[in-house]
Amino acid sequence: MKDKTTGSYKAILAYISFIGLILAYILNMDEKDKFVSFHIKNMFGLILISLIPLSFVDNEYLFFMGKIVFTFLVILWSYCLLMAILNKKTGVPFLGNYFQKWFKFLD
């Protein structure tokens, strides 16, 4: 019988920076947990989206838009972290299902 708390800790670890994502992925390699894989894919998608505001630094208006995107990402990250803490398999609204399809290589 699997221990649900171990999967929960790994899923939470995935949301603690990019290094946490890598550690959660490595820890999930031996004994695959679908719950952990779900949250790893969500965090990977959030990290990729977070790279978008970096392209907005040239123009003052676009820099402001980048701040809005970054603020929205922090809210999404907080939501996903809360879902991992609550042991729920709920991801990024609107994009979560796409993240699960696009990032199958992280299973």
pLDDT at 15 over 90: yes
pLDDT at 72 over 80: yes
CB hemisphere CA count around 42 (13 angstroms) = 31
Quick: pLDDT tens for 35-49: 999 999 999 999 988
Name the nearest CA neighbour of 86 among 7, 2, 6, 8. Answer: 8
Model's pTM, two decimal places? 0.83
Quick: pLDDT tens for 79-92: 999 999 999 988 88
How many Å separate Cα 77 from the centre of its chain? 7
pLDDT at residue 5 in the model: 64
How many Å separate Cα 105 from the centre of its chain? 15
